[in-house]
């Protein structure tokens, strides 16, 4: 018979592991909202165009739609911009912008100069919605289907090729 | 191509470390030569593999290869090249690679520097280390591959390195910490190997001591640098925040300090053998636990890593495997009784025991305070609570006091029994005199004495007097005596200086929020502060508002700049504090908000003796480094 004291460290540590594991599974439930096949996260942020207008998830009303994360400091977004304009002019689907950690004046100026492909842009200065979405950086694009569920995401520039490969199929579902 | 080469090297590393983790042990247990492999050569090849793999990631950063996802998330064309280099370990994936590299460096150093007569024992240490490295490598490849590409169309520019990491102290702080954490793998492997092969307590303690000391030295440096960085970068002027991640580094530090002290007793007197084994296991376990807490996202802190619950499960798996495995061996093993000479309450052995108890209870309390918010959240279904500085300070104070008092007399104690306590009289006399001198100096410097600082100041004097042991050796050649004890003198005096710094800075600091427009003056303490002007400046990847401030007292005038930076790629704001360092105090000013056109708020602070905290930590690190290197040389 081994002395209890020799087994004690093992027991204590095993309990610790189990406890930590249970914390982890608690947290998992909360983090899953950022993943594919879940509804778009709730938010309440001002509009880029009009800082007194409060936008929520209900304002993303025309579906299916793209959510595009952009900013004036993001050079790749400038590369992506013509393609978004093309989607807009050909009325393929509505695009909602998520203006990410940006300067409001500069952002509005850019949209005025280069054209505005977005129905509206959410002004996310602190990156709060971006955190909920699990955004890596700009540009990043999410596809929301007609039930408001996130179906696909793409990190980096979306162009014709990416559109065909990743997004187009969801449009005709 | 380069990232793919790095990726392949890492996969080869995985395979070889797997082989290294099992073959040497198999050959020992089956007593079969066919499984025997040249472990020194294998260790060296492993090092080469991981080193080259790491270099290929560095290279991808230096050439701005944004097709590598990790590079695009943590670098930017405008980032200065030295930060591109440091960005390699700026986030989760790359830092894991550095971690494995560090573990391998420790393993190689152990194998080439520590001469063990028992081949089985060396094989086992090698195998266990390989198993640890294998698990980390598997973790990296499966959940956190730094070589993943964004193809076919890579982003044109990256998202930039986290601006607060763009700082010289913060580029070396993580590697030092990782070296500290990963170094604890060696004492762990030695402890497990010692259990497997019934190695004498004396013998394995001798092997383990230098590596524990060196890891502790790296941990000290890493933690001190982090604290220094927080002081000037976060703009609050604090130096320790009891942030969960700071605690996660502080706990293994406490345990490693406890461990090398207990190893002294184990090596010299064969005592505390089992205790030292447990400590080795738990020092390593808490360093993994820290990693788990930081990177699984279950605790929120200023050290935000990209969060991924899958990673948490994996790290917990690694932690569980190694710690439960080794504790299982521990609980099943029949330890043979070491021959121990008896010792009394007044002995050095008992001193070490007390030191260990205090350190371990302190470590457990801090760990508990760190995890408690989680337990509370789970128990109350989501209600949040935060355990902050008050809890930790209340806990820390009595333990620090007891440890300091013990530290003062510890070096006077003798093995077995201390025959005479006559030294107490001299020790008291010396420390009271020193105490008087320091109070006098403080009074001259700051025209004021605070009762609240007396305890810590006296403690510092007590430790210094106890370390220098003037009364014990006053008739012998005192300098030769000190030289022989250089390492312990450095470390213990360093601790005293740290304690003194903490005591003075907490009582004597003054701070004030100011609202100023350019041209304004303000009297603060003995300083006249002038807000001279504000200008726009442009850095390589940021623009900033910088305020020119002048501090003026009777003796000298110094001008500083405090900035509010906006980093262009990410739009993040950072505050750069303006600090004037004088021998006995720091004048500290940080910029607040722009209230109206030209009206700015500032926070100004005078922090006496704050540099002494890091000076003390540096001395502790030097001391333990010296002791470690000394031990290696002797063995």
pLDDT tens-digit readout, A92-109: 899 999 998 788 888 888
Burial status of residue B18 (CB atoms within 10 A of its CB: 0-12, 13-18, 19 or more): middle
pLDDT at position B297 is 60
Query: Between the CA of residue B121 and those of B19, B181, B186, B336, what are the distances in Å?
Result: 17, 23, 13, 17
Is residue B156 one of the residues assigned to a domain?
Answer: yes
Is residue B335 one of the residues assigned to a domain?
Answer: no
Burial status of residue B185 (CB atoms within 10 A of its CB: 0-12, 13-18, 19 or more): buried
- Number of compact structural domains in chain A: 2
Structural contact between residues B206 and B267, judged by C-beta atoms closer than 8 angstroms: yes
Instruction: Kindly state the average pLDDT of the residues A73-80.
Output: 76
> Which residues does chain A have within 8 Å of residue B380's beta carbon, measured at their own beta carbons?
none
Same domain, A2 and A41: no
Same domain, A98 and A21: no
Inspect the interface and report whether the beta carbons of B157 and A76 lie closer than 8 Å: yes
What is the domain extent for residue A3?
Answer: 1-34
Q: Which of B304, B629, B219, B280 is nearest to A127 (CA)?
A: B304
Longest dimension (CA), chain A: 82
Same domain, B464 and B408: yes
Same domain, B561 and B582: yes
Neighbours of B164 (CB within 10 A): 18
Is residue B326 one of the residues assigned to a domain?
Answer: no
Helix (H) or strand (E) holding A66: strand A65-70
Taking 50 as the pLDDT cut, the residues of chain B under it are 301-302, 304, 306
pLDDT at position B298 is 61
Our CA-based measurement puts residue B101 at a distance from the nearest CA of chain A, in whole angstroms, of 27
Here the contacts of B515-523 (C-beta below 8 Å, separation 24 or greater) are B515/B595, B515/B599, B515/B600, B515/B601, B515/B602, B516/B599, B516/B600, B516/B601, B516/B602, B517/B598, B517/B599, B517/B600, B518/B598, B522/B604
Residues belonging to chain B with any Cβ–Cβ distance to chain A shorter than 8 Å: 69, 72-73, 150, 152-159, 278, 281-282, 285, 292, 296-298, 307, 309, 312-313, 316, 319-320, 323-324, 327-328, 330-332, 374-375, 377-378, 568-572
Q: Which of B628, B625, B579 is nearest to B606 (CA)?
A: B579
**What is the rounded end-to-end Cα distance, in angstroms, of chain B?**
45
Inspect the interface and report whether the beta carbons of A156 and B153 lie closer than 8 Å: yes
Same domain, A89 and A12: no
Average of per-residue pLDDT values in chain A: 82
Same domain, A20 and A99: no
Residues belonging to chain A with any Cβ–Cβ distance to chain B shorter than 8 Å: 2, 6-7, 9-10, 13-14, 17, 19-24, 26-28, 31, 71, 73-76, 79, 100-103, 136-139, 155-157, 159, 161-162
What percent of chain A shows pLDDT beyond 90?
A: 10
* Residue whose tokens read 């005479």: B420
Inspect the interface and report whether the beta carbons of B297 and A14 lie closer than 8 Å: no
Q: Pairing relation of β-strands B527-538 and B542-552?
A: antiparallel
Is residue B325 one of the residues assigned to a domain?
Answer: no
Task: Tell me which of B486, B508, B530 is where a domain ends.
Answer: B508
- CATH classification of the domain holding A92: 3.40.30.10
DSSP secondary structure string for all residues of B378-431: HHTTS------HHHHHHHHHHHHHHHHHHHHHHTT--SS-----THHHHHHHHH
Same domain, B30 and B86: yes
Same domain, B519 and B576: yes
Same domain, B391 and B425: no
Q: From the list B155, B158, B309, which residue is nearest A28 (CB)?
A: B309
Our CA-based measurement puts residue B183 at a distance from the nearest CA of chain A, in whole angstroms, of 22
Query: Between the CA of residue B615 and those of B66, B102, B492, B603, what are the distances in Å?
Result: 41, 26, 12, 25
Same domain, A151 and A87: yes
Same domain, B180 and B225: yes
pLDDT at position B306 is 47
CA distance B8 to B6: 5
Q: Pairing relation of β-strands A54-56 and A44-46?
A: antiparallel
Neighbours of B451 (CB within 10 A): 7
Our CA-based measurement puts residue B540 at a distance from the nearest CA of chain A, in whole angstroms, of 14
Same domain, A137 and A167: yes
CA-nearest residue to A22 within chain B is B378
CA distance B383 to B386: 10
Same domain, A43 and A30: no
What band does A31 get if pLDDT is binned at 50, 70 and 90? very low
Our CA-based measurement puts residue A8 at a distance from the nearest CA of chain B, in whole angstroms, of 8
Our CA-based measurement puts residue B189 at a distance from the nearest CA of chain A, in whole angstroms, of 17
DSSP secondary structure string for all residues of B242-286: --HHHHHHHHHHHHHHHHHHHHHHHHHH--SHHHHHHHHHHHHHH
- The alpha carbon of B7 is separated from its chain's Cα centroid by a whole number of angstroms, namely 30
Tokens of A38: 């879940």
* Residue whose tokens read 């850019």: A110
Inspect the interface and report whether the beta carbons of A73 and B568 lie closer than 8 Å: yes
CA distance B579 to B556: 15
Contacts of B323 (CB under 8 A, 6+ apart): A13, A17, B281, B282, B284, B285, B288
Same domain, A72 and A143: yes
Between CA A79 and CA A83, with CA A82 as vertex, the angle to 5 degrees is 95
Number of helices (H), then strands (E), in chain A: 6, 7
Is residue B575 one of the residues assigned to a domain?
Answer: yes
CA distance B271 to B263: 9
> Which residues does chain A have within 8 Å of residue B150's beta carbon, measured at their own beta carbons?
155-156
Is residue B129 one of the residues assigned to a domain?
Answer: yes
Same domain, B171 and B290: yes
Same domain, B358 and B436: no
Helix (H) or strand (E) holding B361: helix B348-379
CA distance B456 to B441: 16
> Which residues does chain A have within 8 Å of residue B69's beta carbon, measured at their own beta carbons?
155
Query: Between the CA of residue B290 and those of A120, B53, B246, B253, what are the distances in Å?
Result: 43, 25, 9, 11
Same domain, A103 and A26: no
Same domain, A41 and A29: no
Burial status of residue B634 (CB atoms within 10 A of its CB: 0-12, 13-18, 19 or more): exposed
Tell me phi and psi for residue A151, to 5 degrees: -110, -30
Is residue B301 one of the residues assigned to a domain?
Answer: yes
CA distance A167 to A144: 10
> Which residues does chain B have within 8 Å of residue A102's beta carbon, measured at their own beta carbons?
571
Contacts of A50 (CB under 8 A, 6+ apart): none
pLDDT at position B163 is 75
Same domain, B516 and B465: no
pLDDT at position B367 is 92
Interface test with A, best of B153, B299, B321, B328 (most A CBs within 10 A): B153
Is residue B328 one of the residues assigned to a domain?
Answer: no
Same domain, B606 and B491: no
- Number of compact structural domains in chain B: 3
* Residue whose tokens read 């890493």: B222
Inspect the interface and report whether the beta carbons of A6 and B330 lie closer than 8 Å: yes
Same domain, B141 and B286: yes
Q: Give the tens place of pLDDT for each residue, B394-436.
A: 999 999 999 999 999 999 898 988 888 888 888 899 899 999 9
B413 or A20, which is more confident: B413
Give yes or no for residue A29 having a pLDDT over 60: no
CA distance B298 to B310: 12
> Which residues does chain B have within 8 Å of residue A157's beta carbon, measured at their own beta carbons?
153, 155-156
Give yes or no for residue A10 having a pLDDT over 80: yes
Inspect the interface and report whether the beta carbons of B569 and A22 lie closer than 8 Å: no
Burial status of residue B416 (CB atoms within 10 A of its CB: 0-12, 13-18, 19 or more): middle
Task: Tell me which of B468, B484, B508 is where a domain ends.
Answer: B508
Same domain, A96 and A149: yes
Same domain, A72 and A96: yes
Between CA B155 and CA B165, with CA B161 as vertex, the angle to 5 degrees is 175
pLDDT at position B278 is 95
ipTM at complex level:
0.76
What is the domain extent for residue B435?
Answer: 401-508
Inspect the interface and report whether the beta carbons of A27 and B155 lie closer than 8 Å: no
> Which residues does chain A have within 8 Å of residue B298's beta carbon, measured at their own beta carbons?
20, 23-24, 27
pLDDT at position B308 is 60
Same domain, B240 and B190: yes
């Amino acid at each position: 018979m081994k002395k209890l004291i020799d087994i004690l460290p093992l027991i204590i540590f095993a309990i610790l592991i189990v406890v930590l594991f249970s914390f982890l599974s608690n947290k998992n439930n909360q983090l899953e909202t950022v993943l594919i096949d879940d509804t778009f996260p709730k938010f309440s942020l001002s509009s880029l165009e009009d800082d007194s207008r409060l936008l929520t998830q209900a304002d993303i009303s025309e579906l299916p739609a793209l959510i595009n994360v952009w900013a004036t400091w993001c050079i790749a977004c400038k590369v992506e911009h013509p393609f978004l304009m093309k989607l807009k002019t050909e009325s393929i689907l509505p695009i909602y912008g998520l203006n990410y950690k940006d300067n409001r004046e500069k952002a509005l100026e850019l949209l005025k100069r280069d054209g505005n492909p977005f129905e509206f842009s959410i002004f996310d200065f602190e990156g709060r919605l971006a955190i909920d979405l699990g955004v890596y950086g700009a540009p990043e694009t999410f596809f929301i289907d007609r039930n408001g569920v996130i179906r696909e995401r793409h990190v980096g520039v979306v162009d014709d090729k990416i559109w065909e490969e990743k997004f187009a199929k969801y449009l005709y579902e | 191509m380069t990232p793919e080469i790095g990726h392949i090297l890492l996969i080869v590393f995985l395979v070889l470390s797997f082989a290294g983790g099992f073959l040497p042990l198999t050959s020992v247990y089956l007593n079969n030569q066919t499984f025997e492999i040249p472990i020194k050569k294998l260790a060296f090849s492993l090092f080469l593999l991981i080193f080259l793999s790491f270099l290929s990631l560095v290279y991808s950063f230096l050439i701005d290869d944004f097709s590598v996802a990790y590079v695009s998330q943590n670098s930017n064309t405008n980032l200065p090249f030295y930060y591109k280099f440091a960005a390699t370990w700026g986030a989760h994936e790359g830092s894991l690679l550095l971690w494995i590299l560090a573990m391998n460096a420790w393993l190689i150093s152990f194998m080439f520097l520590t001469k063990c007569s028992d081949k089985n024992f060396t094989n086992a240490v090698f195998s266990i280390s390989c198993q640890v490295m294998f698990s980390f490598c598997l973790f990296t490849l499966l959940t956190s591959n730094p070589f993943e590409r964004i193809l076919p169309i890579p982003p044109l520019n990256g998202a930039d390195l986290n601006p607060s990491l763009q700082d010289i102290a913060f580029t070396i702080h993580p590697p030092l910490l990782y070296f500290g954490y990963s170094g604890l793998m060696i004492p762990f492997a030695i402890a497990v190997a010692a259990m497997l092969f019934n190695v004498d307590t004396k013998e394995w303690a001798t092997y383990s001591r230098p590596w524990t000391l060196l890891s502790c030295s790296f941990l000290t440096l890493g933690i001190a640098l982090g604290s220094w960085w927080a002081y000037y970068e976060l703009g609050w002027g604090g130096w320790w925040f009891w942030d969960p991640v700071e605690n996660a580094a502080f706990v293994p530090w406490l345990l490693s300090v406890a461990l090398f002290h207990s190893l002294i007793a184990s090596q010299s007197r064969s005592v505390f053998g089992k205790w030292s084994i447990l400590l080795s296991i738990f020092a390593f376990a808490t360093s993994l636990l820290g990693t788990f807490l930081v990177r699984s996202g279950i605790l929120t802190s200023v050290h935000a890593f990209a969060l991924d619950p899958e990673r948490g499960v994996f790290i917990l798996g690694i932690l569980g495997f190694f710690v439960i495995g080794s504790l299982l061996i521990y609980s099943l093993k029949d330890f043979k009784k070491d021959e121990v000479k008896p010792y009394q309450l007044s002995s050095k052995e008992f001193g070490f025991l007390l030191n260990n108890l205090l350190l371990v209870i302190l470590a457990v309390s801090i760990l508990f305070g760190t995890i408690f918010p989680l337990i509370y959240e789970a128990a109350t279904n989501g209600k949040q609570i935060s355990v902050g500085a008050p809890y930790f300070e209340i806990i820390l104070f009595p333990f620090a006091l007891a440890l300091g008092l013990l530290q003062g007399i510890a070096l006077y104690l003798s093995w077995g029994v201390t025959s005479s306590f006559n030294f107490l009289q001299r020790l008291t006399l010396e420390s009271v005199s020193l105490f008087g001198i320091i109070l006098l100096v403080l009074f001259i410097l700051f025209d004021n004495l605070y009762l609240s600082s007396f305890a810590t100041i006296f403690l510092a004097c007590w430790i210094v007097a106890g370390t220098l042991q003037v009364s014990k050796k006053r008739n012998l050649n005192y300098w030769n005596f000190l030289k022989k004890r250089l390492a312990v003198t450095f470390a213990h005096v360093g601790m005293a200086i740290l304690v003194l710094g903490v005591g003075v800075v907490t009582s004597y600091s003054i701070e004030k929020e100011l609202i100023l427009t350019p041209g304004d003056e303000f009297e603060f303490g003995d300083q006249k502060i002038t807000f001279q002007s504000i200008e726009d400046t442009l850095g390589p990847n940021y623009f900033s508002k910088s305020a020119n401030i002048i501090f003026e007292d009777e003796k000298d005038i110094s001008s500083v700049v405090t900035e509010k930076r906006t980093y262009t790629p990410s739009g993040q704001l950072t505050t750069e504090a303006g600090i004037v360092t004088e021998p006995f105090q720091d004048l500290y000013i940080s910029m607040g908000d722009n209230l109206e056109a030209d009206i700015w708020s500032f926070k100004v602070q005078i922090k006496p003796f704050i540099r002494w905290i890091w000076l003390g930590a540096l001395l502790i690190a030097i001391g333990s480094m010296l002791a470690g290197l000394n031990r290696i040389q002797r063995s």
